[in-house]
Amino acid sequence: MLPTDQYSPRVHDLLLLRAGIVSSADVAKPAWVSSSPASNLWVVVRRAIAPDGLVAVGIRGINRQQRWGGFADVANVKERLHPSQLSFHMACRTRIVVPALAALSWLEGQLDKSELDWGPVGSVGFELATGQQVVTGTSDLDIALFAPTRFTRETARELWSVMKVAAVKVDVRVETLYCGFSLEEYAREETGQVLVRLPESRQLATDPWSVSVIKDEK
């Protein structure tokens, strides 16, 4: 667990709220959100600009279609988990038979000696953090790779050559300081530009690490 007073929430972080209070963003709060626990609610930090003192978060329901975004008070955060703090050993031992979790165990072995800041997100990350068995037999493995400094397309191809041979489909989202983009797309030799995700938009960029300059020029 990361100290809540020394660390600013980043996209993909999982937050445990003391009180399950999440205010509405642009979309009205659905009924299933209102029935969520009143305390000790796990939410994920999403890519959106939040007012001062708040953090943009997403709530997941029981079904895959149940996803909703709102804002939580930073002071309400009880625990904070970064994807790199999540690993297969946190899962129930019997869950090794679930393909996405088995793939995570395999990938941890492949990247054991690397110094990469990476970890599982999506349903796998949520299950490891909360203990709620939400990963199914058809779940993909979603990974976040945090890269504040630029790496080459050759490095991207080397990383993707490992990811793509996993037993399940792996989706790797590279996170710079300002945006996120697909490792697979960046690794393709024929790709001149990649689609980057910003808090309020998406755009094509040749260099994802300089996308903030592009944004400021508008």
Read off the CATH number of the domain in which 41 is found: 2.30.30
In contact, 21 and 72? CB cutoff 8 Å: yes
In angstroms, rounded to a whole number, what is the distance separating the alpha carbons of residues 143 and 2?
Answer: 20
What confidence tier does 37 reach under pLDDT thresholds 50, 70, 90?
low
Give the active site residues. 140, 142
Least confident of 37-51, 72-86, 172-186: 37-51
Amino acid residing at 105: S
143 and 156 housed in the same domain: yes
Whole-number mean pLDDT of the chain?
88
pLDDT at 192 over 70: yes
Average pLDDT over residues 129-135: 92
- Pairing state of beta strands 141-146 and 170-175? parallel
Helix (H) or strand (E) segment spanning residue 160: helix 153-163
Question: What is the pTM assigned to this prediction?
Answer: 0.88
103 and 209 housed in the same domain: yes
209 CB-near residues (< 8 Å, 6+ apart):
149, 150, 176
Establish if 8 belongs to a structural domain.
no
Q: Structural domain of residue 23, as residue ranges?
A: 14-81
Neighbours of 39 (CB within 10 A): 11
99 and 127 housed in the same domain: yes
Given this model, what pLDDT does residue 34 score? 65
Backbone phi, psi, residue 41, to 5°: -95, 125
64 and 160 housed in the same domain: no
Which residue bears the tokens 């997403």? 58
